[in-house]
Every structure is written in C-alpha cells, then in structure tokens.
Amino acid sequence: MSDVGASGILTRLKQRKLVQWALAYIAFAFALIQVLDVVAGSYDWPHSAMHVVFGLLTLGFVIALVLAWYHGEKGRQRVSGAELLLIALVLAIGGGLLWRFERAPNALAVAAQTRSPDAAQRNPGATPSTIPIAAVPAKSIAVLPFENLSGDKGNTYFADGMQDLILTKLADIGDLKVISRTSTAKYESHPDNLKIIAQQLGVAAILEGSVQKAGNQVLINVQLIDARTDNHLWAEAYTRTLDNIFGVEGEVAQKVADALKAKLSPAETARVAEAPTRNAAALDAFLQAQELAQKATASQSEATYLAADTDYLQAIALDPGFALAYARLAYNQLNRHWFATPLTAAQMATTKAYADHALALAPNLPDAHLALGYYYYWGFRQYAAANVEFKRALQLAPNNVNALVGLALVARRSGQVPQALIYLKQAVVISPRDPNILTDYGWTLALIRRYAEADAQVRRSLILAAGDAESFDAMLPIQLFGFGDADATRNAVKVLPGWRIEASNVDAGDVMLLVNTRTYADVFARRFDAALHAWDSAPTETQEQRRTGQAARIVIKLLAGRGQQARPDCAQLAPSLQSALAQDPQSLSLLRQLSWVDVCLGRNADAIALAQRAVAALPISKDSWYGAYQLVGLAQIAAWTDAPDLAVKTIRQLLAMPVGDVMSIERLKLDPVWDPLRKDPAFQALLAKYADRLPATALSDARHD
C-alpha cells in the first residue's frame, strides 16, 4: 500500500465525493425507514419485515460507497490494487455488520425464552423490551402502586383504591397517554430505576404516592417525576379526614394534567372534578369490593366474585347515587358469568338493570358504557351493540384499555382477525406489560397460524407472569398444533395452573378441553397412563367436577385404544349426563361429554346428533372462535363413529378458517384423536396436499377446495 499514502487517499475521497454520497444515502435511508415504519404499523407487518429492510439498506450503503469510489469524476479513474484491497475491507466490514444485525434478534429471542420467569417477576426492571426515549410522547404518564404507610397492613386496599381512582380520572384525559394499572402493578412504589421503568412503559413521567390511614385521618402524598431527568415536576400532600377525602383523585389528576401541559375539554374538566361518592362508608365498601374483584378476575373463583358483589351492594345501599359502584358491580357479575359460573336469565336481567341504572345516574360514565358493552358481548354475543358501547367508552376515556380489548375480542369472535390485531396492538401501547393482553395478542396470531410470532408474545407474557393460567392455555395449542412439540407445553411454565374445570366447560367442543389443558400434552404425546394418573388429583367437590373427571377418563381410554375397558364406566355415566342435559339442553359441556359416552357405547348416530346439536347451539356465524371448537368437536366425533366423509369435510372447512388454535396440519399428523382417519384416502390426500407447506399457505389454499 506504499503507492497510496494517507494524503492520496484523502484527495481521492474528495474527488469522488464519498462523504457527500454517504450523507445523502443516510438521509434517504432515514426518510425511507420512517415511511415504512408507518406502513408496517398500519398493515401489521411482522417484525422480521423491518429487519430485512434494515439489512438491505445496510448492504445498499456499502454498494453505494463502492460505486461512488469507482465511478467518481464520471468514471475516469481506474482502481488500483491498493484500492481493491480497501474496497474488499469495506465490504467485509459491511457484511459483518449485516450478519451481526440479522443475528441479533434471534439472540434476543433466545435470551427472552431462557430468562428465569421467577427472577423477572421479582425484578420487573430486568425484563426485556424498552421503548427508546425519542419515541416517548411528552404527555405520557404511569402511576406506580401507592405505598401503604398505615400501621394496619389491612389498609392496603385503601392505598390501592386511591391509586385506581386517580388512574381512572387520568384515563379520561384524551391529551394524555396513561398506562394501565395492570402494567404497573408489579413495580415497587418508590423504585430506584425510574428511567428504566419509564422506558419499559413508554412514558415521560411517573406518579408516585403513599397513603397513611389512621382512624378517621388520611394523609396522601403524591409526586410527579420527569423520568428522563429525574426532576420533580410537582408534589403535594393532602391531609384529610374520611369525611372530606372526596374529590382528591380529581384534584391530583388535574394537577398532573397541568404539570404535563395537557389540554382538557370542558367535558373532561367536569368529569375529572366530579367525585364518585361523598359517603365515607360507601367509598370504603367500594374500595374493598375493588380489591376482591381484582382477586376474582385473577383466580376465576366464584366465591371471590360473590364476595365482591356483597361489598359493591353495600356501597350502593349506603349511597344509592353511587353510579361507579353500579357499573363495577355489573362488570364483576358479567366477568363471573363468562369466566366462572354462567348467570341465569333472571340474574342477567338484574345485571343489566345495574348497568342501566349507572347510565341513568351518569350518562357519560365510561365504566357504565364498558359494563353495558360486556353485557352485550359476554351475555349474548351481540357484537354490534357491544361495539357501540365500547367505542363510546373509549371516546369518553381514550386510555381505557378494557374498552380497546373489548373491541379486539369482539372483532376476533366476528372473524375479523386483522382488525382484532390492530386493536390489540393499540392496547399494548397503553398496557405494554399486561400479560393478559400479550396472551390475547399471541392467541390471535395463532388463529391465523402465525405460530412463531404467537409464541414470542406468549413467552413475553410468561416472563411477566410466570405460571399464568391463560398464558399456558394459549401456549398449549401454539406448541402442539403449531410445532407438534408436546414437551414444550410441559416445560413452558414451572407451575401449572389449576384445573379450572367449570371455566373449561364453558368453552366445550374440542376434546382438548374435555381432557383438560393440564393433561392434553400427555395425551398428544400418547402418554395415556400419565394423563389418567393426573386426573387422580382433580377436584371432585361438585357433581359437575365429578362428571367431567369421569368423562375425561373415558375419552383418554378411548384414544388409547382401551374402549372395552371404558364401557362399564360409560354405561354408568350415561344416565347422569342424560338427566343433566334434559335440565340444560343447550349445555355445550354436557353435549360434548355425552357424545363421547355414546361413542364408547357404540351409539354412533346418537353421538353425531349430539355433536351437531353443539354446532347448532354455537355456530361460527355467532362466534367464529368458540364456534370452531364445536366444529372440530363434530369432526372428532365423526372420525370415531365411522363417518370419515363428514370428518374430512369438516376438517377441510376448518383449515380454510382462522382457527389455528384448534386446527392445523401438524395436529392432523400427530394428534391421536385423528387416528381412525389414518388409512382414509381422503384424509391422506388432504395431508399430502399440504405436506411441507407453511401453515399460512395451507390456510389460503384450503379456501379453494
């Protein structure tokens, strides 16, 4: 390299305008990335698409520099040997950077999967995924859990309740981005790493607080901190008695809005200033009900739901004008109806009356519209009416994540999966560390058979909440039907969820639910004895639990090829199921259980008729998601009752639908429930058609069958 000194290189760089070319290319690339980022967000591109864009632009940068060097000054120069060596060096460096860039996401994914969930739960700041400071809006805030400084630790509900009331008021302000309570719940009240927490939540400001309650005296301390600079923006102490604490949450919300320079409309100002009640005893009962309702949502325990109802009703009795208590009571009952124990028609009418009364007292109360939206959705699957209420709730409280999730879930059950994903992505912005939303996001991706992306979202959820029951429920079909990996479902979480028999029976249809998610990985892997043994620990306190356990054992034995061994049990269980079904003819769980008992007893026509009744009771036109469970249940019964044509026809229909959580080619290949079809020519032709194809390809091609 002796013929090309340092000065010569600099001269040629100037002649060829390499610096100008480099700056021009970087400016072009930056502008293109901004445009593509907007397009990717609007059209729900996968993350890998932007990785490819970055890689191509990096390679293009290297090529642009080479061309600029070679063709500088209209191409009159010739490239010397030393220059060729320099170009090779640049290409090597650029290629190395490109390889490193493309490999980095995979390394991060591995790290996220192997990180200890328990350690992450103890230290939320250690979990991955932070938002760059430049992307954080200035008018954004997270409210951390308020510290209970009372001598009585039993007053924690009061501190939590005050935080929730303040958060509810802030959520009404459209000019603010407000992170949901679920995403902040696991943080400490006064953490040291505010900057990291703010980046994880995507906010510029953090509100910290403490509550000290002694007898009738209450001291509330709050401070607003700019997390980027660690500067205090505002702080205040409120010394009140229980008789004049009303409206503190509105005062705090208004002060926060002023400090962040958020603009409130006159209607927002009025709602923020309005106190939900001015009865001290009613407020106390309401805050205790809130604590119980949150526990009930987490546990899906009927007893806890009912205990929350009692406290809500007490609050209403003490203050008949307490609109928020009416709305939250209605929501709690609807939550119980959907996730634990269905309400009777009379109970549902009472719940509707609570929501209507809340609206009569406060027509612009977001929680009242939210409760009414879930009444139409969870109560009757009336999606259009639910959409109206959810959109109204979101209009009144733009940061109401429950309304956004409601819109997403309604879209999902209507078969509008792309729209559901858009709503869920918006919900993740407001609640980036909510395991339930991340699980819903992953589960929705699984419906359209994007299993790798679905798996990533559910694993994020498990990092935040190790052992979460809903996350495990989502992980099971992703691993089994997406990847055919039974061992992964057993190792996905260290602590398996409870049996939740009643909640599982609500969904019904698929044999996976009859056998229960706790044991289906063993069934899928043909470890039938292990699955049967697991049922030894199942609860048997109620008749429903006992029947479900008996039916599950029967199905496991059938799938294991032990039908003769199961026949006495089937004969014993059949009268009990028939009697129960006569009392509740629309019960999906009873229809499912009795159809398999009929298979066991050789009553093929009766088994198919019951499975068809389940499809009619919940058709896909009424519920695209759970309706598919009934269809797959019909296909399974048809497979086991010597009706292969009906089975294959139904399978083909399911492959053409966004129902990847119950139907995939991988499941058809491996699941023992399809064993009776293994030698059927039509079934074999179906598998051959989609052999070695991506799940998404199978989805699109099946529509043309």
Judge whether 496 lies within some domain. Answer: no
- For the ranges 75-89, 324-338, 462-476, 691-705, which has the lowest average pLDDT? 691-705
User: Which is higher by pLDDT, 2 or 486?
Assistant: 486
pLDDT score for 691: 73
Judge whether 123 lies within some domain. Answer: no
Q: How far apart are CA 331 and CA 311, in angstroms?
A: 14
- Cα 694 → chain centroid: 24
Single-letter amino acid, residue 393: A
Q: How far apart are CA 509 and CA 595, in angstroms?
A: 10
Is the domain of 451 the same as that of 347?
Answer: yes
pLDDT over 80 at 52, yes or no:
no
Single-letter amino acid, residue 14: K
The CA distances from residue 244 to 277, 278, 286, 319, 674, in Å, are 11, 8, 16, 16, 67
Is the domain of 255 the same as that of 185?
Answer: yes
pLDDT over 50 at 125, yes or no:
no
pLDDT score for 641: 98
Is the domain of 618 the same as that of 697?
Answer: yes
pLDDT digits (tens, 9 = 90+) for 645-688: 999 999 999 999 999 999 999 999 999 999 999 999 999 999 98
pLDDT over 70 at 119, yes or no:
no
pLDDT score for 487: 83
pLDDT over 80 at 252, yes or no:
yes
Q: Of 216, 242, 275, at which residue does a domain stop?
A: 275
- For the ranges 25-29, 110-114, 272-276, 348-352, which has the lowest average pLDDT? 110-114
Instruction: Express as a percent the part of the chain with pLDDT over 90.
Output: 66
CATH for 143:
3.40.50.10610
What's the burial of 663, exposed, middle or buried (CB within 10 Å: 0-12/13-18/19+)? Answer: buried
Q: How far apart are CA 358 and CA 617, in angstroms?
A: 32
pLDDT band at 2 (very low <50, low <70, confident <90, very high): very low
H helices of 131-179, in order, are 156-171
- Mean pLDDT of the 479-503 span: 76
Judge whether 194 lies within some domain. Answer: yes
Answer whether 411's CB lies under 8 Å from 419's CB. Answer: yes
pLDDT digits (tens, 9 = 90+) for 180-213: 998 998 899 988 889 999 999 999 999 999 999 8
pLDDT digits (tens, 9 = 90+) for 499-511: 878 777 777 789 9
Judge whether 121 lies within some domain. Answer: no
Judge whether 512 lies within some domain. Answer: yes
- Mean pLDDT of the 45-71 span: 65
Is the domain of 179 the same as that of 307?
Answer: no
pLDDT digits (tens, 9 = 90+) for 448-472: 999 999 999 999 998 888 877 888 8
- Mean pLDDT of the 398-410 span: 96
pLDDT score for 300: 83
Q: Of 491, 522, 557, at which residue does a domain stop?
A: 491
pLDDT over 80 at 50, yes or no:
no
Judge whether 388 lies within some domain. Answer: yes
Is the domain of 366 the same as that of 467?
Answer: yes
Is the domain of 178 the same as that of 309?
Answer: no
User: Which is higher by pLDDT, 641 or 247?
Assistant: 641
Is the domain of 439 the same as that of 319?
Answer: yes
Largest CA distance in the chain: 99
Is the domain of 667 the same as that of 557?
Answer: yes
Q: Give the single-character DSSP code of 315.
A: H
Instruction: Express as a percent the part of the chain with pLDDT over 70.
Output: 79
Judge whether 349 lies within some domain. Answer: yes
Is the domain of 104 the same as that of 174?
Answer: no
Q: How far apart are CA 420 and CA 409, in angstroms?
A: 7
pLDDT score for 127: 43
Provide the mean pLDDT of the chain: 85
Range of the domain at 267: 128-275
Q: Of 433, 461, 491, at which residue does a domain stop?
A: 491
Is the domain of 255 the same as that of 375?
Answer: no
pLDDT over 50 at 704, yes or no:
no
pLDDT digits (tens, 9 = 90+) for 304-329: 999 999 999 999 999 999 999 999 99
Is the domain of 241 the same as that of 299?
Answer: no
pLDDT score for 115: 32
pLDDT over 80 at 581, yes or no:
yes
E strand or H helix that includes residue 597 = helix 588-600
How many independent structural domains does the chain possess?
A: 4
Q: How far apart are CA 386 and CA 408, in angstroms?
A: 11
- For residue 300, the SS3 value is coil
pLDDT band at 702 (very low <50, low <70, confident <90, very high): very low
pLDDT score for 405: 97
Is the domain of 563 the same as that of 633?
Answer: yes
pLDDT score for 88: 52
User: Which is higher by pLDDT, 16 or 395?
Assistant: 395
pLDDT over 90 at 612, yes or no:
yes
Judge whether 418 lies within some domain. Answer: yes
What is the pTM (predicted TM-score) of this model?
0.76
User: Which is higher by pLDDT, 107 or 197?
Assistant: 197
3-state secondary structure 418-482: HHHHHHHHHHHHHCCCCHHHHHHHHHHHHHCCCHHHHHHHHHHHHHHCCCCHHHHHHHHHHHHHH
User: Which is higher by pLDDT, 475 or 647?
Assistant: 647
pLDDT score for 442: 96
pLDDT over 90 at 236, yes or no:
yes
CATH for 369:
1.25.40.10
